[in-house]
Chain A
Amino acid sequence: MKDDNSHGAPRTVPIQSATFTNPVNAEIRRAAATGIYDIRGGGAKRKLPHFDDLLFLGASISRYPLEGYREKCETSVTLGTRFASKPIELDIPVTIAGMSFGALSGPAKEALGRGATLAGTSTTTGDGGMTEEERGHSNKLVYQYLPSRYGMNPDDLRRCDAIEVVVGQGAKPGGGGMLLGQKISDRVAEMRNLPKGIDQRSACRHPDWTGPDDLEIKILELREITGWEKPVYIKIGGARPYFDTTLAVKAGADVVVLDGMQGGTAATQDVFIENVGQPILACIREAVRALEDMGMHREVQLVVSGGIRGGADVAKCMALGADAVAIGSAALIALGDNDPRWEAEYNALGTTAGAYDDWHEGNDPAGITTQDPELMARFDPIEGGRRLNNYLKVMTLEAQTIARACGKNHLHNLEPEDLCAVTLEAAAMAKIPLAGTDWYPGKPGTGY
């Protein structure tokens, strides 16, 4: 009903649609104007049930706490104990996720290596091969084995510390990748055996195996080439974590890396990032259940990733059954990505600090997700490494603080019983009782 203001009667207040929001409408207009779907970097931005929806209970009369600053709380983790003769031993359970040279600049890869090494943890290559910057500065380096096989060679396979067979990633399970021509410098082109300036597609599936039986043989080959020394990880996106974990273990994985939909990518379609895959909170317990059903929990290690931001998130992952976590987006922020100091330049690119995600265009003011020599020169890899190390130390201290409060002398001793959920969704996804109850949706024996 429309009121007639000419008689002084109140008007109906304009109401924005909860369905057709301003951002939705803007995207419709952008699509209508360009005819091109949006490509961006990063992970899911939508609000999802996450670690914030879980709380630790802490100690009480029935649980004995450890003294917060003085009593020992171990953080080390060994990855690859199942078959590899040289498992990876890390001081902290926070690793750096795979990010490619090409997507990131050489100095950014160097900084990741410097920071991780100072903190006693590992870094991971990415699509595009292994660079001297990251091998030289990473004490422990995981070499990704991807469908594109860009830059894959047996020499690098032999000089890595672990091999990660990438089946999927959380931002785009079932999808490949594309490094747009703007970021294809001479060096990137040479490493990928393709002409400079053309878009480089990364296939969505491997070229020489198709299923878990083939994958088992592929892993046999990789182990034979490297003398059964290296741990073999299998990375999966958060699609069907129970079955994918089961099949990864069946195929011979030493380590399963599980990436939820909040995990970032260098570039893919926004519609893919926001609409395919599961939040990491919904994936961890299913993967752990698969490992437990096979009697492989802790024998095959579980590394989880996707939206991990601080020590509390680390501790919650450990309590849910993970052996370690991996961070990507958070590591980039620690290096200086999306820093407000570049706000004027973000504004010039039509965005703002905290929202910049057009990493594929190669114009990153922070000099991290670019191959532009002038922008890259803004980034100091030594300072970046120092910042990453600081951040990793803080995450570890935070996780230890929580673990001690729960009476645990090792982060691995955290357990689901240390947690409660503050939403029904989180309770159902993480199989953690709703706060104030001993129940979660779907709990066996409860009937619903």
Chain B
Amino acid sequence: MQTFDLEAQGLRALNATLHAQASDTNQTAWEVVNPRGSHAIAVGLDAPIEVTVKGSTGYYCGGMNKQATINVHGSVGPGVAENMVSGTVVIEGDASQYAGATAHGGTLIIKGNASSRCGISMKGVDIIVHGNIGHMSAFMAQSGNLVVCGDAGDALGDSLYEARLFVRGSVKSLGADCIEKEMRPEHLEILRDLLERGGCDAKAEEFKRYGSARQLYNFNIDNAY
């Protein structure tokens, strides 16, 4: 285990050190101490390493991640794992706005709650939230899966494309063009896998599935409010 003291060594040194790890590095386990809410921790990683952040972070932790596994033993600020391509980001606490925004792949697990716009414009990522999510989540979500073990706020899935949304609790309201859909066997299978990967204590049968009604897919004046 390599330990990096962020307060003493600084952000630039941290990211440069992590970027320097090649795909076959034998320094695969890293621990970041004293994060003190810093922004842009462990961004742009591109190696199969595991980074554990011992504390809470600011904006964009794990941004544009590829391959790496990032564990945050605390809560995260806005935009955690934004535009992630692959790998896994696990948050032990809560996540602020835009968690997993535009992420193209990988897995984001939030063990607490996520704030508004969770999964905004997601493009293939799997996001698994143990708690609740805030308003306007999955706005313009293109593909991937969003699993919410708790409740969802207002306007879930507004202007949704092909992403699948699974919510166990209540949904305060659905956004434009988002509808409840039948949970077919193949969806239950997908959801069971996601729940297992996310370490969730929940059964797939307890969830409802939401998706796009596909009424906004082609320009029509009646869609312009």
Contact = CB atoms under 8 A, between A and B. Distances in A.
A binds B: yes
Interface of A: 35-37, 39, 148-149, 152-155, 157-158, 178, 180-181, 192-195, 198-199, 201, 203, 207-209, 214, 217-218, 220-221, 224-228
Interface string B81-113: 011010000000000011001101000000000
A208 B85 contact: no
B135 to A, nearest CB: 14
Given A154-B44, A208-B82, A36 B221 contact: yes
Contacts of B46: 154
A224 B217 contact: no
B64 A157 contact: yes
Interface string B107-127: 000000000010011011000
Contacts of B43: 221, 224-225
Contacts of A148: 121
For the residues of A in contact with B, the DSSP-based class is loop
B85 A201 contact: no
Interface string B211-223: 0000001110100
19 contacts: A37-B224, A149-B123, A153-B64, A153-B104, A193-B123, A193-B143, A194-B162, A198-B217, A207-B101, A207-B120, A208-B120, A217-B58, A217-B59, A217-B60, A218-B59, A220-B39, A224-B15, A224-B44, A225-B63
B12 interface: yes
Interface of B: 11-12, 15-16, 19, 39-40, 43-44, 46, 58-60, 63-64, 66, 78-79, 82-83, 85, 97-98, 101-102, 104, 117, 120-121, 123-124, 139-140, 142-143, 159, 161-162, 217-219, 221, 224
Given A35-B221, A198-B217, A203-B121, A193 B39 contact: no
A349 B16 CA distance: 55
A227 B16 contact: yes
B154 to A, nearest CB: 17
A349 B212 CA distance: 35
A182 B111 CA distance: 42
A180 B219 contact: yes
Given A214-B59, A225-B44, A153 B217 contact: no
Given A217-B58, A217-B59, A228-B12, A203 B140 contact: yes
A192 to B, nearest CB: 8
A89 B58 CA distance: 35
B79 A208 contact: yes
A38 B71 CA distance: 50
